[in-house]
């Protein structure tokens, strides 16, 4: 999962960036409204954390512009305590959730999980697919009850696949959602990690669709008699 963090306070953004990173997100950071707007238009984020008090362009304006352009990415806004009007105008502009400073990073993480879940149209807090289960809260996964020992990237990969199970996911899309801006787009790490993941969860679960990408099939029996 990839998140855009829009926050001008240097300390806070550094802290949040590492917290989000530790939680398994690929994080890009924008320090002002202009940069935020540009990045949001350019890169495909899964969720956006938007502080409202920003230099150059105000957070609400940025959000409004995104929504006017048809951008649907879930946005969580950060407001200073008691800035009620901000909160209201934020929601009016199309925010999906808000959080007043100061807050515990745990709460931010929880809300982001909820947002991602909602935007994917998933009801339950844990993902499952065949005998696979994944709990974003505990960052833990299992096959048939057997807990899996996954590295960070393996986990992120599985997470993304499970969030979009049944759909073909291109290598490009995976790179775009698992890594942040500066990453060598033509490298074969994805293939390597798909391989490693397969070794751990069973190779028949991730189907490769030649020329298009990979697909995690929700149905247990693979059944390709055709």
Partner DNA sequence: CCCCGGCCTGAGCCGCATCTGAACACGGCA
Partner DNA sequence: TGCCGTGTTCAGATGCGGCTCAGGCCGGGG
User: Footprint of a second copy on this chain (CB under 8 A)?
Assistant: 22, 41-42, 44, 69, 100, 102, 104, 106, 138-139, 146-149, 151-152, 166-168, 170, 173, 200, 209-212, 223-226
For DNA, the binding residue among 15, 42, 144, 151 (CB under 7 A) is 151
Under 8 Å between Cβ of 35 and 57: no
For DNA, the binding residue among 17, 37, 159, 171 (CB under 7 A) is 171
Under 8 Å between Cβ of 200 and 148: yes
Under 8 Å between Cβ of 218 and 161: no
Quick check: 146 binds DNA (CB under 7 A)?
A: no
- Give the C-alpha separation, 55 to 32, whole Å: 5
CB of 150 to DNA, least distance (A): 8
**Angle subtended at Cα 151 by Cα 149 and Cα 156, rounded to the nearest 5 degrees:** 110
CB of 185 to DNA, least distance (A): 10
Long-range contacts of 101-105 (CB under 8 A, 24+ apart): 103/78, 105/15, 105/16, 105/19
- What part of residues 53-112 is at the interface with DNA (CB under 7 A)? none
Applying CB under 7 A, which part among 3-11, 73-81, 111-119, 191-199 lies near DNA? 191-199
Quick check: 28 binds DNA (CB under 7 A)?
A: no
Residue 2 binds which of DNA, a second copy, none (CB < 5-8 A, kind-dependent): none
What's the gap between Cα 75 and its chain centre?
Answer: 11
CB of 74 to DNA, least distance (A): 25
Applying CB under 7 A, which part among 27-35, 100-108, 120-128, 185-193 lies near DNA? 185-193
CB of 226 to a second copy, least distance (A): 5
Residue 147 binds which of a second copy, DNA, none (CB < 5-8 A, kind-dependent): a second copy
Q: Spell out where 119-193 has E strands.
A: 127-129, 132-135, 140-143, 146-147, 168-169
67 exposed, middle or buried (CB, 10 Å; 0-12, 13-18, 19+)?
Answer: middle
In 3D space, the residue among 173, 150, 161, 147 whose CA is nearest the CA of residue 218 turns out to be 161
Which residue ranges make up the site for DNA (CB under 7 A)? 151-154, 171, 179, 183-184, 187-189, 191-195, 198, 203, 208, 210-213
């Amino acid at each position: 999962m990839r998140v855009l963090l829009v926050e001008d306070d240097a300390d806070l953004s550094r802290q949040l960036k590492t917290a989000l990173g530790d939680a398994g997100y690929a994080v890009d950071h924008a320090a002002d409204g202009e940069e935020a707007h540009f990045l949001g238009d350019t890169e495909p984020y899964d969720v956006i954390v938007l502080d409202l008090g920003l230099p150059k362009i105000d957070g609400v304006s940025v959000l409004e512009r995104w929504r006017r352009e048809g951008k649907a990415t879930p946005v969580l806004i950060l407001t200073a305590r008691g800035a009620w009007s901000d909160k209201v105008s934020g929601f009016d502009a199309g925010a999906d959730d808000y959080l007043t400073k100061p807050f515990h990073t745990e709460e931010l993480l929880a809300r982001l999980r909820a947002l991602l879940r909602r935007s994917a149209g998933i009801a339950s807090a844990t993902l499952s697919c065949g005998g696979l289960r994944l709990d974003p809260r505990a960052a833990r996964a299992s096959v048939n009850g057997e807990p899996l020992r996954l590295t960070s990237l393996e986990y992120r990969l599985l997470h993304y696949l499970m969030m979009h199970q049944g759909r073909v996911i291109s290598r490009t899309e995976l790179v775009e959602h698992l890594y942040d801006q500066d990453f060598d787009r033509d490298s074969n790490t994805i293939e390597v990690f798909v391989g490693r993941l397969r070794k751990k969860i069973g190779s028949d679960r991730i189907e490769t669709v030649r020329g298009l990408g990979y697909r995690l099939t929700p149905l247990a029996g693979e059944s390709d008699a055709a």
